[in-house]
Amino acid sequence: MDAFKEHVGRVVPLDRINVDTDQIIPKQFLKRIERTGFGEFLFYDWRYLENGDPNPEFVLNLPRYAGASILIAGVNFGCGSSREHAPWALQQYGFKAILAPSFADIFRNNCYKNGILPIALPADVITSLSQEARDTEGYQLMIDLEQQSVICADGTAHNFEIGDFEKYCLLNGLDEIGWTLQYEADIAVYENR
């Protein structure tokens, strides 16, 4: 897994609550047996028109947000299906972090496993950051995982919570399976008791 330490990137606001993983990556793209190639299908039904052209009204298609790597969304982002294809699609599109007031549990877990940082911030902070992103073309944020902080251009910092283990894994790009396998003896003891 890629390590995550610090990131500075352009911000795109997706003003929707309860964005489900069926929207993040629709089922017709789940038939692949590879782990790659999902980025172009991210938010497919919102992003493309019936004829396959980009939907000019969808926020990711606005030229001013091109190259965005930080997504801001409403509450309960990533609800629904456990498909890890959702974080794969977000990551392969270029997102490094998602900011929202809350996340669905399985989705949040899946993000950590793929080097994407899901950051929960209070709803009023999300609303104001999202407003800034709309008001200021090229709006950027800096994320410092070590400090657990989202830092605005004017220096304002918003701290966020993350579990110690998740933080450790992200900072070090840790292979979790390798981690567990170091305790193989304990697993064997458990199995034989």
Partner 1 sequence: MKKTMYEKIWETHLVRASADEVPILYIDTHLVHEVTSPQAFEGLRLNNRKVRRPDLTFATMDHNVPTTDRALPITDLIAAKQMETLAENCSEFDIPLYDIDSPEQGIVHVIGPELGITLPGKTIVCGDSHTSTHGALGALAFGIGTSEIEHVLATQCLLQQESETFEIRIDGTLPYGVTAKDIILAIIGHIGIDGGNGAVVEYTGSAIRALSIEERMTVCNMSIEAGARAGMIAPDDTTYEYIAGKRFAPKGEAFDAAVEGWKQLPTDEDATYDRTLQLDAAEIAPQVTWGTNPGMVTDVTGHVPDPADMATVDEKTATEHALAYMDLKPGTPITDIPVDRVFIGSCTNSRISDLRAAAEVAKGRKVADTVSAMVVPGSQAVKRQAEAEGLDEIFRAAGFEWREAGCSMCLGMNPDTLLPGQRCASTSNRNFEGRQGKGGRTHLVSPQMAAATAVTGRFVDIRQFQ
Q: Is there binding between residue 181 and partner 1 (CB under 8 A)?
A: yes
Number of residues engaging partner 1 in binding (CB under 8 A): 51
Contact stretch for partner 1 (CB under 8 A) within 57-65, 128-136, 141-149, 184-192: 184-192
Gap between the Cα atoms of 138 and 151, Å rounded: 15
Q: Which residues pair with 159 in a beta bridge?
A: 149
Strands 117-120 and 97-100: parallel
Residues 37 to 66 in contact with partner 1, rule: CB under 8 A: 45
Token match 């877990």: residue?
A: 109
Contact stretch for partner 1 (CB under 8 A) within 53-61, 63-71, 109-117, 133-141: 109-117
Q: Is there binding between residue 142 and partner 1 (CB under 8 A)?
A: no
Q: Is there binding between residue 167 and partner 1 (CB under 8 A)?
A: no
Contact with partner 1 (CB under 8 A) among 3, 6, 35, 147: 35
Please state the closest distance from residue 172 (CB atom) to partner 1, in A: 14
Q: Which residues contact 72 (CB under 8 A, 6 or more apart)?
A: 11, 12, 13, 14, 98, 99, 100, 126, 129, 130, 133
Q: Is there binding between residue 143 and partner 1 (CB under 8 A)?
A: no
Q: Which positions touch partner 1 (CB under 8 A)?
A: 15-18, 20, 22-23, 26-28, 30-35, 45, 74-76, 79-85, 87, 102, 104-106, 109-110, 113-114, 163-165, 175-177, 179-181, 183-184, 186-187, 190-191
